[in-house]
């Protein structure tokens, strides 16, 4: 694993955006695995700036997102489809037809997840996967205890995750209780993975995930087994973390 420690969030976002840019330049028709949460927003802002300058072309890029709340429509302001449209897709020249997010409105979880796995396989897998890190070590919505061998599946969100994400909703009751998420197995099949972490609140879990035992209790710890992971963070998140 390679680690890039940047001074602050802005610079960490630039490092992550640089890695994504390199991927898009080297393989213009690549498949990007994209993430939501507040952490990647700075990275997406940087990509938009470079696109606006004419330095990046997303016209042939395909994207496959990690997860979506079950029951939320793409128009719902809290859905991950809406997040991706507003924070990235609407601002670059990616063809929306080439962007994939699990279908939160598909009522049949098995069908929703099977369809999504088909999308991933039809694209030949993900070239570069972007990941944030939940405070309990979740990646995508794979909560502690998730089996490492799972592909896309429906999860019941833990109370801590619902509370962490409640800031985006009008009230706790509105936070969905379930989500469709790529599984650990699907994530681990990406050719390259970039994990972005920021802020002191992530410091403990970063140490646990990348220096602690590999266990389903800390889903991100499985990343220690991947042969091409880059950890990008600011000093607050990476304090005391030695490679």
Per-residue tokens: 154: 């429906």
Q: Which is nearer to ligand GLP, 36 or 79 (CB)?
A: 36
> Six-digit token pair at 94?
């990616």
Contact (Cβ atoms closer than 8 angstroms) between residue 207 and residue 243: no
In the 8-state DSSP scheme, what is residue 111? Answer: H
User: What residues contact 163, with CB distance under 8 A and at least 6 apart?
Assistant: 172
CA distance 112 to 167: 27
Q: Are 84 and 36 in contact (CB under 8 A)?
A: yes
Binding to ligand GLP, residues 157-196 (CB under 6 A): 161, 165
Where does residue 102 fall: left (phi above 0), alpha (psi -120 to 50 degrees), or beta otherwise? beta
How many whole angstroms separate alpha carbon 235 and alpha carbon 124?
36
Closest approach, Cβ 177 to ligand GLP, in A, equals 13
Considering only residues 132, 137, 176, 219, which one is a binding residue for ligand GLP as defined by CB under 6 A?
132
Per-residue contact string for residues 53-72; x = within reach of ligand GLP by CB under 6 A: -------------xx-----
Q: Is residue 133 at the binding interface for ligand GLP, with CB under 6 A as the rule?
A: yes
Q: Which of residues 6-25 bind ligand GLP (CB under 6 A)?
A: none
Q: Cite the active site residues.
A: 67, 136, 138, 143
Closest CB 2 distance from ligand GLP, rounded Å: 20
* Residue 54 beta carbon to ligand GLP: minimum distance, rounded to whole angstroms: 29
Site string for ligand GLP, 74-113 (x = CB under 6 A): ----------------------------------------
Contacting range for ligand GLP; rule: CB under 6 A; set: 24-32, 98-106, 133-141, 223-231: 133-141
Residue 126 as a binder of ligand GLP (CB under 6 A): the answer is no
The C-alpha atoms of residue 225 and residue 192 are separated, in whole angstroms, by 12
Return the closest-CA partner of residue 207 out of 232, 242, 166.
242
Residue 38 touching ligand GLP (CB under 6 A): yes
The distance of closest approach from Cβ of residue 96 to ligand GLP in the complex, given in angstroms and rounded to an integer, is 21
Alpha-helical regions (H) of 28-179: 41-52, 80-87, 109-122, 159-165
Q: Which of 13, 23, 39, 43 binds ligand GLP (CB under 6 A)?
A: 39
CA-based nearest residue to 64, from 176, 162, 181 = 181
Using CB under 6 A as the criterion, which residues of the chain lie in contact with ligand GLP when the complex forms?
35-39, 66-67, 132-134, 140-141, 161, 165
């Amino acid at each position: 694993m390679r680690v890039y420690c940047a001074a602050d969030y802005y610079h960490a976002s630039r490092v992550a955006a640089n890695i994504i840019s390199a991927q898009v330049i080297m393989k213009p028709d690549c498949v990007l695995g994209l993430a939501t949460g507040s952490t990647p927003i700075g990275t997406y802002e940087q990509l938009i700036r470079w696109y606006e300058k004419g330095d990046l072309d997303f016209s042939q890029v395909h994207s496959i997102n990690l997860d979506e709340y079950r029951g939320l429509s793409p128009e719902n302001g809290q859905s991950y489809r809406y997040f991706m449209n507003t924070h990235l897709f609407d601002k670059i020249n990616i063809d929306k037809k080439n962007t994939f997010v699990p279908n939160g409105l598909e009522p049949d979880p098995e069908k929703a997840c099977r369809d999504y796995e088909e999308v991933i396989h039809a694209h030949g897998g993900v070239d570069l996967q972007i990941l944030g890190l939940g405070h309990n070590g979740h990646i995508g919505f794979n909560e502690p205890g998730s089996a490492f061998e799972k592909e896309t599946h429906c999860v019941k969100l833990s109370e801590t995750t619902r509370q962490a994400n409640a800031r985006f909703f009008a009230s706790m009751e509105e936070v969905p209780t379930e989500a469709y998420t790529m599984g650990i197995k699907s994530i681990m099949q990406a050719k390259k993975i970039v994990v972005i972490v920021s802020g002191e609140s992530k410091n403990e879990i970063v140490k646990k995930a990348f220096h602690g035992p590999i266990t389903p209790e800390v889903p991100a710890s499985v990343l220690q087994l991947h042969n091409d992971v880059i950890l990008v963070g600011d000093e607050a998140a990476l304090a005391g973390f030695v490679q």
